[in-house]
């Protein structure tokens, strides 16, 4: 009787280890727009383009990029249209105009007979004054404390996206530091680094709210490192509109932003 009991337990364990794939309903793929255009504060070069892809099934791991769309940037003040070409499939980054700070631009996409659009104002950024490195941490001895000191440009309220590489993102607002230097602390978990690039990008209030929700959702799902412009963990609405079929979900965000970057070096002492 005892032997039968052990055999029964073994069968249960083996059954629990069997991989079962559930048939999930296929939905129509939605367009994903990674429209985060970043412009260097140093030389005004455009450091990123517009990436178009489609959502995929739950078990699919390959990203399907969209190379058959027509992408334009429209200067709304001059009513001038610029067609953006691809450098690789799905990456539209050739032919941008010279963007001007605080000027409004419209993104226009035509794909499979449908039109999509969004507007953004070119947002300036703060300058990185310096970055302090400290081994101090309140919670984890293996964390590194970075303090980023920014020179905040004069404006009623400014918002920033801080990128500490390896998908480490944080959003900042100068609620208590308007028109003065901002000291922003960040606890870095990466180990054995020799150097690290830190980027500070100017964003508007709506993009700040969107990124705050997206970073919170990613952290709640145990993944704080992800693409903020891909398919979000839940139905998070960006600022891209499907003009042909307004009920059709579109993922992603369109923003034109200036950034400042600095590379810091770590020394073993």
134 with 110, same domain: the answer is no
Residue 104's Cβ-side half-sphere holds a number of Cα atoms within 13 Å equal to 6
104 with 209, same domain: the answer is yes
- Kindly report, residue by residue over 72-83, the tens digit of the pLDDT: 999 999 999 999
Q: Band of the pLDDT at 258, cuts 50, 70, 90? A: very high
155 with 73, same domain: the answer is no
pLDDT averaged over the chain? 82
Count the residues in the chain: 269
113 with 66, same domain: the answer is yes
118 with 165, same domain: the answer is no
Residue 12 has pLDDT above 60, yes or no: no
How far apart CA 154 and CA 203 sit, in angstroms, is 15
Please identify, among 152, 182, 201, the residue that sits at the C-terminal boundary of a domain. Answer: 201
Q: Band of the pLDDT at 97, cuts 50, 70, 90? A: very high
Residue 123 zone, left/alpha/beta (φ > 0; ψ -120 to 50; rest): beta
118 with 88, same domain: the answer is yes
Residue 128 has pLDDT above 90, yes or no: yes
- 259 within some domain: yes
143 with 237, same domain: the answer is no
CA angle 123, 97, 241 (to 5 degrees): 65
- Kindly report, residue by residue over 105-123, the tens digit of the pLDDT: 999 999 999 999 999 999 9
Please identify, among 185, 201, 217, the residue that sits at the C-terminal boundary of a domain. Answer: 201
- Kindly report, residue by residue over 151-194, the tens digit of the pLDDT: 877 766 899 999 999 889 999 988 766 556 788 889 888 777 88
The domain in which residue 190 lies consists of: 127-201
- 14 within some domain: no
Average confidence (pLDDT) over 124-143: 77
Quote the number of domains for the chain: 2
Please identify, among 152, 180, 201, the residue that sits at the C-terminal boundary of a domain. Answer: 201
């Amino acid at each position: 009787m005892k032997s039968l009991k052990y055999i029964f337990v073994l069968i249960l364990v083996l059954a629990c280890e069997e991989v079962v794939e559930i048939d999930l309903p296929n939905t129509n793929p939605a367009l994903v727009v990674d429209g985060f255009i970043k412009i260097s504060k140093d030389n005004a070069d455009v450091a990123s383009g517009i990436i178009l892809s489609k959502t995929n099934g739950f078990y699919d791991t390959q990203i399907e990029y969209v190379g058959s769309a027509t992408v334009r940037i429209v200067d709304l003040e001059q009513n001038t249209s610029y067609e953006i070409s691809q450098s690789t499939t799905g990456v539209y980054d050739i032919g941008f105009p010279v963007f001007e700070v605080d000027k409004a631009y419209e993104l226009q996409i035509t794909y499979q007979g449908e039109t999509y659009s969004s507007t953004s104002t070119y947002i300036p950024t703060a300058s990185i004054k310096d970055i302090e490195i400290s081994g101090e941490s309140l919670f984890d001895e293996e964390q590194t404390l970075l303090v980023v000191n920014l020179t905040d440009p004069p404006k009623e309220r400014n918002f920033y996206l801080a990128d500490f590489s390896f998908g480490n993102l944080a959003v900042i607002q100068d609620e208590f530091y308007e028109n003065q230097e901002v000291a922003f602390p960040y606890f870095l978990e990466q180990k054995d680094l020799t150097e690290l690039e830190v980027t500070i990008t100017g964003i508007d209030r709506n993009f700040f709210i969107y990124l705050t929700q997206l970073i919170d959702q990613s952290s709640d799902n145990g993944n704080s490192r992800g693409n903020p412009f891909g398919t979000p963990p839940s139905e998070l609405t960006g600022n891209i509109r499907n003009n042909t079929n307004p009920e059709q979900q579109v993922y992603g965000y369109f923003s034109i932003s200036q950034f400042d970057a600095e590379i810091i070096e770590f020394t073993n002492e």
